[in-house]
Chain A
Amino acid sequence: MFRAYTTVTKNAVMSSFTYRAHFLFQILGSLVGIVILWYLWHSVYQGSGQTTLRGMTFEQTFLYVSLGTALFVLMRTWAEWFINGQIRSGDIVVHFFRPYDHMAWTFSENLGQVIGNLITITVPSLAVIFLVFQMPWPDAWHLLLAVPAVIQAFLLSFMIDYFIGITAFWTQSIWGISAGKDVIVLLLSGAMVPLPWFPDAVRDVLLWLPFASLYNTPLSLFAGAPLDLITVLGRLGLQTVWLVIILFGVRAYFGLASRKLTVAGG
């Protein structure tokens, strides 16, 4: 049973290497984005005449936002578009009759894509950030804690995408809700402007919402003002809590959606 899922993952990794022009431009776009961010934030710090803004140095802020872009590209698997395609073509029906779980199957495929992204886009991006821009490496225990933080962030990101994809059972097209989701997630998670830059009261609320778990939690480990262990463990725990809540929500939602499909089909 498990073998079936790993095969799906392996195939997705392989197919992510197929389109070379696609990857060339994706890498190029990602790198240009990082360079632009460097100039933007460099100008912000230079214009202010200060070395620390909102408790963050230029290096910390740049690491936060540039790793944020890298994380976005890493986690972006367009699962909702894929599911939407299955719903529109009717292929999704096939999945109801097969002896595997649709969500687990989609996840296996997305995991393969993420591994592909990791090798082809994330590694070059990190090389630019740490070797070209000479950003300081985070210390070992921050790196160690960042591993579960990134994994949980990806799981959350996948489940939100899956949720949005299922919503296509009700709406006709996907662009609006998918792009709208991206806007909300990126703004409220700190991916556009680091959470520490938000007004204190707003930031304190946002830290508790699931969006912060996607970007701020992993990013604040790599970059930003150093955190003590208790805070870090607290945030990782909050990530897990949101993960469980959203998982149950999505499963219930899928049940609801598949009933609607049966009604429409019968």
Chain B
Amino acid sequence: MIRLYFKLCAKYIQARMQYKADFFISTATMLAGNTATVVSLFILFQTIPQLAGWSYAQVIFIFSFAILAQSPVQILFDHLWQLRVHVNQGTFIKYYFKPLPTLFYYVSEMVDLKGFGSLAFGIGALIWSSLELHLVWTPERLLLFPVMVVSAGMIFTALITLAASGSFWVKDSFSIMAFVSNFRDHARYPIGIYDTVVQFLFTWLVPIGFIAYYPSRFFLTDAPLDATAWGAPVIAVILSVLAVWVWNRGVRHWGGTGS
């Protein structure tokens, strides 16, 4: 299945590379978007020394963690944005005829190359802030880091997959996708800027706190590994299972009405 995935991806990249100019423009846009956020934060921190107790470099760290967490969605699951088109035009039917899980087959048809530019930006910004803050990368932190990034990536991927699954029931679900994907931007700020009610919502209801802020804390401070640490992989698994279940239900539902 992995071999198949790379085959499908290679096909897509081959097709894509015919439009080199488009690839360069898209990558430049992606980097410009990230740069614009950094510039806005920079301007903000010209006037204020800290945001909810976090310094400029610390906020950049949280932001770069968010970029890493959203990279899997951006690079591997970008085809979800076109689901509404396939569903509305009926072209989604082709995914029923292959002996493959539909979600896997569907997303493997596209790999978003411009996402790699963003990923590189995120890694660069993470290294910069980490050096700027003289962060100590103890063995425990080095072990914890991949667990946290993968969990965060899974949580955001699951949320987007859930939103995209809306296409199977609702006509023109673009706004649902846009609505959920905007939470990516909200996840970039320290949760401390919100009051306790909103903090609770962003922790347990729409767990975007786990996309960047909670995991970042363990690398930026000596915060003890509490519920927000072991909760991350647990929430990631629960949400992913839920997302796949809802997707499959949607696939069955749509197939039922289409025939």
Contacts and interface: CB of A to CB of B under 8 A. Distances in A.
8 contacts: A26-B179, A28-B179, A39-B194, A171-B21, A173-B26, A175-B26, A176-B27, A180-B25
A107 B114 CA distance: 32
Contacts, number: 105
Interface in B232-253: none
A49 B179 CA distance: 33
A47 B176 contact: no
B51 interface: yes
A177 B25 contact: yes
B114 to A, nearest CB: 8
Contact of A25 (B22, B47, B178, B195): B178
A234 interface: no
Interface stretch (A4-12, A130-138, A183-191): A183-191
A43 B50 CA distance: 10
User: Which of B21, B52, B114, B193 counts the most chain A CB atoms within 10 A?
Assistant: B193
User: Which of B19, B25, B39, B182 counts the most chain A CB atoms within 10 A?
Assistant: B25
A242 B19 CA distance: 33
Contact of A29 (B49, B52, B173, B179): B179
Taking residues whose C-beta sits less than 8 angstroms from the other chain, chain B's interface range is 35 or more
A69 B137 CA distance: 40
A183 B170 CA distance: 30
A47 B172 contact: no
B164 to A, nearest CB: 13
Contact of A192 (B22, B36, B47, B53): B36
Interface stretch (A193-201, A221-229, A245-253, A258-266): A193-201
Contact of B175 (A25, A43, A180): A25
User: Which of B19, B43, B50 counts the most chain A CB atoms within 10 A?
Assistant: B43
Interface in A89-117: none
B47 A199 contact: no
A53 B44 CA distance: 10
Interface of B: 19, 21-22, 25-29, 32-33, 36, 39-40, 43-44, 46-53, 114, 170-176, 178-179, 182, 186, 189, 192-195, 198
A40 B29 contact: no
Contacts of B175: 21-26, 29
A231 interface: no
Contacts of B174: 22
A197 B48 contact: no
Contact of B195 (A39, A173, A192, A198): A39
Interface in A156-176: 171-173, 175-176
Contacts of A192: 36, 40
Given A22-B175, A33-B182, A47 B51 contact: yes
Contacts of B195: 39
A140 interface: no
Contact of A171 (B22, B39, B46): B22
Given A21-B176, A198-B43, A44 B22 contact: no
Contacts of B50: 47
Closest CB pairs A-B (n = 6): A176-B25, A180-B29, A43-B193, A176-B26, A25-B175, A29-B179
